[in-house]
Amino acid sequence: MNLDSQHFLDEYWQKKPCLLRQALPEFEPMLDGDDLAGLACEDMAESRLVTGTFEAADWSLEHGPFDEETFANLPGENWTLLVQDVEKHYAPLQELLQPFSFIPAWRLDDLMISYAATGGSVGPHTDQYDVFLLQAAGRRRWQIARDCDRDLLPDCPLNVLRSFTAEQEWVLEPGDMLYLPPGVAHHGVALEPGMTWSIGARAPSAADLLQGFGEWLAFHPDEGGRYSDAALKPAARAGEIDQLALQGLGELLRSKVADRQTLHHFLAAFMSRFRLANEPAPPAAAMLADEVAGALKNGATLMRNPWTRLVWIETAGTARLYAAGQPHDCSTWLAESLCKSICPNIGTDKLDQASLEVITSLVNSGHFLLGPDTV
């Protein structure tokens, strides 16, 4: 990718929009509109069909799965089909995320692909996350505004701004990319049939984190400990939670969040599950560590389940690797090697028994497949 990552992070990331002409000059989309429509007919895929224009304010929104008839009956213009998590449904697309690996993997969410007919748009809106909008096919006009009225169009099934005045606009051609930090209003309209591939970041809210932390503590036998008040005095005023009690309740809460070790393990477990609809399921038959070792020696490749989010934290020189909320203690070398690519190349000569056990456990919980197929 034609991008100086350090410069981009210093100047633009989370700060201001950045237009990257020919960010991916040789870019050839591996999917086309028909492939996307096929995916949008599947139960597992999260898809939306948006029709309407900003001028007419006649927006409509339908959620998938769709059927072939829906696509056969679409008008010639002013509609967009959007599908989330496409890189998880179609694993070879994970390769596309490789140029974005300068952003920590846990901070990226998914690849959403939209196919738009001429005039297709989802209306002017803001997003809560950073997004890289890669023009994959056809030309699209993007207008943006940093300063704008945030009121939404009333009675509209989409989050569309009521009014929008562009501050800047560009026509993006295939290979061009527009980066937008959260909160910048944007309005894209297809000038001809084409696709926009959105690489979206994720950022948990405090509510997400606190809710997740509460659920995580609830799984511990003592639920994180309970409020106690051995020095209780007779209630002075009916119904009141007095200052001493407020202090005690607050202290219980603060002590949980202040326990760094607990908190860090929760955060890693949480980020390995965050916004994940389809967690991998164990395979029909479990493998023994010896069988895994034998397969790897015979040239089998490990392939990460595209729905697996792998994250790790370092604790005292070793790693705790999380997959779907479950911890696996291993060396930092193994954790990093397993996370490097969707088909990690783990040389068998370096593989000690402890590492082999971790890989076996990840295979037996469905996070890695062992097979001859490569992505």
CB of 175 to ligand SIN, least distance (A): 16
Contact pattern for ligand SIN over residues 63 through 92, marking x by CB under 6 A: -----------------x------------
Is it true that the peptide bond before 75 is cis, omega within 30 degrees of 0? no
CB of 100 to Co ion, least distance (A): 17
Nearer to ligand SIN, 115 or 216 (CB): 115
> Does residue 355 touch ligand SIN according to CB under 6 A?
no
Candidates 34-42, 50-58, 119-127, 214-222; binding stretch for Co ion (CB under 5 A): 119-127
Among 24, 37, 131, 363, binds ligand SIN (CB under 6 A): 131
Q: Which two tokens stand for residue 361?
A: 């456990």
Q: Is 140 helix (H, G, I), strand (E, B) or coil?
A: strand
Nearer to ligand SIN, 165 or 255 (CB): 165
Instruction: Give 329's contacts (C-beta < 8 A, 6+ positions apart).
Output: 318, 319, 320, 321, 358
Question: Is 329 exposed, middle or buried, given 0-12, 13-18 or 19+ CB atoms closer than 10 A?
Answer: middle
User: Cα 98 from chain centroid?
Assistant: 14
> Does residue 158 touch Co ion according to CB under 5 A?
no
> What is the radius of gyration, based on Cα positions, of the chain?
24
Nearer to ligand SIN, 131 or 370 (CB): 131
Among 127, 208, 291, 329, binds Co ion (CB under 5 A): 127
DSSP structural state of residue 152? B
CB of 101 to Co ion, least distance (A): 23
Nearer to Co ion, 50 or 271 (CB): 50
The phi and psi torsions of 22 (rounded to 5 degrees) equal 50, 50
Please give the C-alpha separations between residue 260 and each of 44, 255, 267, 315, 374, in angstroms, as whole numbers: 37, 10, 10, 11, 40
DSSP structural state of residue 151? P
Among Co ion, ligand SIN, none, residue 198 binds (CB under 5-8 Å by kind): ligand SIN
The phi and psi torsions of 323 (rounded to 5 degrees) equal -135, 125
Rounded to a whole number of angstroms, the distance between the first and last alpha carbons of the chain is 20
Alpha-carbon span 222 to 121, nearest angstrom: 51
Alpha-carbon span 271 to 312, nearest angstrom: 10
Count interface residues toward ligand SIN (CB under 6 A). 9
> Does residue 122 touch ligand SIN according to CB under 6 A?
yes
CB of 125 to Co ion, least distance (A): 6
> Does residue 196 touch ligand SIN according to CB under 6 A?
yes
Nearer to Co ion, 127 or 329 (CB): 127
Nearer to ligand SIN, 45 or 362 (CB): 45
Nearer to ligand SIN, 36 or 131 (CB): 131
For the packed helices 332-340 and 353-364, what is the interaxial angle rounded to 10 degrees? 40
> Does residue 143 touch ligand SIN according to CB under 6 A?
no
Instruction: Point out which residues bind ligand SIN (CB under 6 A).
Output: 80, 114, 122, 127, 131, 186, 188, 196, 198
Using CB under 5 A as the criterion, which residues of the chain lie in contact with Co ion when the complex forms? 127
